[in-house]
Amino acid sequence: MNPDEDFLTTHDLNISAVLVALGHPLDHIERKDKGRALFCFKSSPAVKKAAQNYWKQEIRINPQKLFDSLKFLKNRLYSNF
C-alpha cells in the first residue's frame, strides 16, 4: 500500500458490497489478526458520499448487483490472492 494515498477502509462486508455494486472498485483487502479483513477503497468524494448515504439509508441499488458484489467479495476473502 502506498502511504501517500488515502483510503476509505471498513471491516463491514455489507457496506463494501454496496460500494462495489455502485461501481467503486475495491483496491485491496488487508488481512488482520483473528481472521478479520479490512476492505480498502481509494478515497474520493464520490466514495465518501456513497458511504454516508449508506449509513443514512438513502441508497437505492439493484438487488442483483448487490448479490453479485457480495459473491465477489466473499470470493476475494477466501482466495489466496
**Residue 31 and residue 55: Cα distance in Å, rounded?**
24
Task: Kindly report the pTM of this predicted structure.
Answer: 0.88
Say if CB 38 and CB 32 are below 8 A apart.
yes
For residue range 20-66, what is the model confidence (pLDDT) as tens digits?
A: 999 999 999 998 887 889 999 999 999 999 999 999 999 999 999 99
Tell me if 2 is assigned to some domain.
no
Tell me if 33 is assigned to some domain.
yes
Tell me if 81 is assigned to some domain.
no
**Residue 6 and residue 59: Cα distance in Å, rounded?**
24
Range of the domain at 24: 7-76
Tell me if 11 is assigned to some domain.
yes
What domain count does the chain have? 1
Which residues make beta-bridge pairs with 34?
Answer: none
Tell me if 47 is assigned to some domain.
yes
C-alpha cell recorded at residue 53: 448515504
Tell me if 14 is assigned to some domain.
yes
State residue 1's pLDDT score: 41
State residue 45's pLDDT score: 96
